[in-house]
Amino acid sequence: MLRVPGSSTDLLSLKAQGADVRIVYSPLDAVKIAQENKDKEVVFFAVGFETTAPANALAVYQAKTLGLRNFSLLVSHVLVPPAMEAILSSKNNRVQGFLAAGHVCAVMGYHEYLPIAAKYKVPVVVTGFEPLDLLQGIAMCVKQLEEGRFEVENQYARSVTREGNREAQDLIAKVFGVIPRKWRGVGEIPQSGLGLRAEFRDYDAELKFNVTTINTHESPECISGLILQGIRKPHECAAFGTKCTPEHPLGATMVSSEGACAAYYRYKRNS
C-alpha cells in the first residue's frame, strides 16, 4: 500500500521525506505502538477484502477495551459479492466465470456466491493460490462452461467450508457495518464496503481528523477500472510501461504484484 497513489503523493514518498510511516505485520502491532507512545496519534490503514477484516476488527475492539485514545483506523475495506454483481450487471460485461479467492472464502464461506451464480448464470470456483490449485480451479470453471452448468464449486476444500469462519464473521459484524464504498477506477458500489459502527466511532480516523470532505482525484490517463472489468487489456493503456510502472503506479492494477498491469509489465506482455 505504500506505493498506492493518492491525490498528490504516496506513503512511500512521505516516508522518504521523514514522515513516521511504519510497516507492521499485524494491526495488533499498531495497537502496541499506540500503548507505548501515548503522546502520538497512531493511525492504522485498514485496507483489504473480508480477509483482513477480522484482525482489524480485533484491533479496534482491543483498543477500546484498553481505553486507548490515541489509536484509530482509516478504514477502506471492500466486499467481494457486491463487486461481482456490479461487474455482471454492467451492459459491457465480458466475464463468463469467476475464481473465488480462497482466503476470502476461508473467512466468509461461499454461500453468498450461490444466488449470484444462479442469477447471472456464471460458474464460480473457490480456489487456493498454489499453481495446482489455480490450474484445477480453471479446469473446473471451463468444464462448467462447456457443460452449460452455472454452479459454485469448492476446489479449496482443505481450507474452505460453505459457511466459513462464524467466529470471525461475528467479530466483523460486531465492529463493522456495511456501507457504500468507492472503488478506484470503478466508482461507488452500493453496500460494498465496511465502516466502523457508531459505538466505535471514536476510533474512526476519518471522523477524528475531519478528512471526510477531502475529494481524491485519479489520473485521467489510467484505465484500471476498464481493466478490472475485463473490458480493456493493460497494454491498451497509453501510460502502460512509461508513465505507469510498478515503481510509479497510476492505478490499482499496477500497484500490487497480483494486479493485471503489474503481471503484464513483469512478463513483458504487449498483446
In this structure, are residues 123 and 150 in contact, taking their beta carbons and an 8 Å threshold?
yes
Instruction: Determine the residue type at 245.
Output: T
Q: What pLDDT score does 26 carry? A: 94
Q: What pLDDT score does 184 carry? A: 77
Q: Where are the domains of the chain?
A: 11-79+167-208, 81-154, 224-266
Torsion of CA 128, 134, 136, 139, to 10 degrees: 130
Q: What pLDDT score does 3 carry? A: 76
Asked if the domains at 11-79+167-208 and 81-154 fall in one CATH topology, the answer is yes
Reported pTM: 0.87
**Sites in the chain below the pLDDT cut of 70:** 214, 269-271
Q: What pLDDT score does 4 carry? A: 79
Q: Between 53-66 and 27-36, two packed helices, what is the crossing angle to 10 degrees?
A: 20
Helices (DSSP H) in 178-243: which residue ranges?
205-208, 224-228
Q: Which fold has domain 11-79+167-208?
A: Rossmann fold (3.40.50)
Q: What pLDDT score does 270 carry? A: 61
Best CA proximity match to 257, nearest among 271, 242, 267? 267
CATH class held by domain 81-154: alpha beta
* 56 φ/ψ angles, rounded to the nearest 5 degrees: -70, -40
* 107 φ/ψ angles, rounded to the nearest 5 degrees: -85, -50
